[in-house]
Amino acid sequence: MTQIVRVEEIHKYVDQEVIIQGWVYNRTHKGKLVFLLVRDGSGFLQCVAFKNDLEAELFDQLTRVPQESSVIITGKVRADQRAPGIPGGYEVGVTHAQILQAPEEEYPLALKEHGVEFVLDHRHLWLRMPSQWAILRIRATVISAVREWLDQNGFINMDTPILTPAACEGTTTLFETPYFDEGVAYLAQSGQLYNEANIFSFGRVYCFGPTFRAEKSKTRRHLTEFWMVEPEAAFCDLDQLMEIEEQFVTHILKRVLKERKAELASLERDTSVLEKIEPPFPRISYDEALEMLADIREKTEDSELREQLQIEWGMDFGSPHETELTGRFEKPVFVYGYPTQVKAFYMEPWPGRPEVCKSVDLLAPEGYGEIIGGSERISNLDLLRRRLHEHNLPEDAFRWYMDLRRFGSVPHSGFGMGIERTVSWITGIKHIREAIPFPRTIKRVYP
Ligand code: 4AD
Ligand code: MG
């Protein structure tokens, strides 16, 4: 019996007859030949129908089969370097074909240029395009590699709540929802605080889930709903945290480079820059970063850039700063020791320099900027209480969190990596909205 085969496995079936189940992505007709580019979810494959091999009526149907028709194709596999497709290099000589459903209307995403808003409105169809397919396949591998590395390195998966009573990353970006007699609840900005409880039982943990930020930012790096993986470790200081991060990120890169070659190639991603990345990653302090920025400002001829890079000690970096900084490194770069005033309430102060905290951001090269934010956490109860007050956070909501400093407090650290930021960097895309199947931004909750 003829086997149903997935396109990504087609190389194993040369000279055999196989069945491909999929959709017609593109069709060209040249005399006695019809070329169908068929996608089946695992790849894109050229299927060639030759008039003399098929019944006249079927061949005629194939000459007209519309884009996105669902089809079942039977045929013989041939290796041919020239055959287009993803990964390409193979084609099927059609011996039989069944058209399950052929669109009767014009397909909205016909193969031509479309505007950004138009494709976003048709995200449910846009997902079928090779670029989107490749990006989201890479995303799945990133997620698989994330879990694999953490699972193999002693981190226990702990799912943290989405409905939460308080802010973690600042009160200005909270999504609020009515919550029975309790008044309101907020969608989680981070699972970190709960993970800090979890490490006292499990040592090393991670949570991984959707994260919500009512960010007013309309940049190509911001979503209102994104996925974040947050590892947290007991008995871990800032230096140890950076070692974990660089191993983790390198593992993810290696998996993608190994398993998603065809997808990266189809996106025309220059992978040579990714291949060079190995630990250790460079580490610079916030103060050093400011010096580098001052130097860049001094040397640039571009007055607009000089304006954008204007910064004083105590200010957070914006996208232009991160872009310029990472442009100077071939690897991701750690920037540690940010001013306390721009970071969250829970960060451990720098010994002898309370205006600086033991935070670290990991900035991706090629201008991609922050993909990871992390820190050592405050372990002293009195200091934590003071910080909550300074940040106007209600002590009552943090009673349980303060208990963690009462019963067996230890130095501990953790970080959060944004999946879509990471996928944007690895795939080399310009806008984060393509790194998630159905993006949510300030201006969009449809489809
Ligand atoms: O730096 P952030 O805000 O850190 C935290 O939430 C910590 N509680 C994490 C921790 O220590 N457990 O966010 C972490 C990462 C960022 O580096 C970025 O990759 C991503 O989450 N991120 C966003 N991604 C897309 N859209 C947004 N609006 C994002 N905000 C943060
Ligand atoms: Mg951050």
Q: Which amino acid is at 435?
A: A
Is 322 a pocket residue for ligand 1 (Cβ < 6 Å)? no
On the 0-12 / 13-18 / 19+ scale of CB atoms within 10 A, 128 is middle
Is 168 a pocket residue for ligand 1 (Cβ < 6 Å)? yes
Is 228 a pocket residue for ligand 1 (Cβ < 6 Å)? yes
In angstroms, the CA 370 to CA 336 distance is 12
Write the CB contacts of 111 (distance below 8 Å, at least 6 apart in sequence).
26, 67
Residue closest to 267 by CA, chosen among 381, 130, 154 = 130
pLDDT tens-digit series, residues 42-76: 999 999 999 999 999 999 999 999 999 999 999 99
Is 230 a pocket residue for ligand 1 (Cβ < 6 Å)? yes
Average pLDDT over residues 187-202: 98
Residue closest to 238 by CA, chosen among 348, 136, 138 = 348
- State residue 208's pLDDT score: 98
CA of 297 to the centre of ligand 2 (A): 24
Question: How many CA atoms are closer than 13 Å to the CA of 135, on its beta-carbon side?
Answer: 25
- State residue 166's pLDDT score: 86
Is 362 a pocket residue for ligand 1 (Cβ < 6 Å)? no
In angstroms, the CA 431 to CA 413 distance is 30
Write the CB contacts of 35 (distance below 8 Å, at least 6 apart in sequence).
27, 28, 29, 46, 47, 48, 49
Is 225 a pocket residue for ligand 1 (Cβ < 6 Å)? no
- Whether 330 has a pLDDT exceeding 90, the answer reads yes
pLDDT band at 216 (very low <50, low <70, confident <90, very high): confident
Element (H, E) at 413: strand 412-418
How long is the chain? Answer: 447
- State residue 171's pLDDT score: 85
CB atoms within 10 A of CB 180: 7
Is 343 a pocket residue for ligand 1 (Cβ < 6 Å)? no
pLDDT, mean over the chain = 97
CA of 307 to the centre of ligand 2 (A): 23
Is 317 a pocket residue for ligand 1 (Cβ < 6 Å)? no
Is 373 a pocket residue for ligand 1 (Cβ < 6 Å)? yes
Which atom of ligand 1 has the smallest separation from the CA of 418? 19
- State residue 168's pLDDT score: 85
pLDDT band at 170 (very low <50, low <70, confident <90, very high): confident
Element (H, E) at 91: strand 90-101
- State residue 246's pLDDT score: 98
Write the CB contacts of 356 (distance below 8 Å, at least 6 apart in sequence).
286, 337, 338, 339, 340, 349, 350
Classify 3-101 by CATH class: mainly beta
Q: Are 373 and 421 in contact (CB under 8 A)?
A: no
pLDDT tens-digit series, residues 385-421: 999 999 999 999 999 999 999 999 999 999 999 999 9
Indicate which residue's Cα is closest to atom 27 of ligand 1: 222
Q: Are 38 and 73 in contact (CB under 8 A)?
A: yes
What is residue 3's three-state secondary structure?
Answer: strand
CB atoms within 10 A of CB 342: 13
Indicate which residue's Cα is closest to atom 20 of ligand 1: 418
Which atom of ligand 1 has the smallest separation from the CA of 422? 19
- From the candidate CATH numbers 3.40.80.10, 3.40.50.720, 3.30.930.10, 3.50.50.60, the one assigned to the domain spanning 124-435: 3.30.930.10
Tokens 């193969």 correspond to 111
- State residue 399's pLDDT score: 96
Which atom of ligand 1 has the smallest separation from the CA of 415? 11
pLDDT band at 101 (very low <50, low <70, confident <90, very high): very high
Is 376 a pocket residue for ligand 1 (Cβ < 6 Å)? no
Pocket test for ligand 1, best of 421, 425, 431, 434 (most atoms within 8 A of CB): 421
What is residue 32's three-state secondary structure?
Answer: coil
pTM (two decimals): 0.97
Is 332 a pocket residue for ligand 1 (Cβ < 6 Å)? no
Residue closest to 207 by CA, chosen among 227, 187, 224 = 227
Q: Are 337 and 357 in contact (CB under 8 A)?
A: yes
* One-character DSSP codes across 36-79: EEEE-SS-EEEEEEEGGGS-HHHHHHHHHPPTT-EEEEEEEEEE
- Whether 133 has a pLDDT exceeding 90, the answer reads yes
In angstroms, the CA 155 to CA 86 distance is 36
Angle at 265 between CA 422 and CA 367, to 5 degrees: 35
Is 420 a pocket residue for ligand 1 (Cβ < 6 Å)? yes
- Whether 218 has a pLDDT exceeding 90, the answer reads no
In angstroms, the CA 115 to CA 309 distance is 31
Strand partners, 24: 38
pLDDT band at 172 (very low <50, low <70, confident <90, very high): confident
CA of 286 to the centre of ligand 2 (A): 14
In angstroms, the CA 11 to CA 9 distance is 6
In angstroms, the CA 63 to CA 302 distance is 55
Report domain extents, the chain: 3-101, 124-435
- State residue 167's pLDDT score: 85
Pocket test for ligand 1, best of 169, 228, 363, 401 (most atoms within 8 A of CB): 228
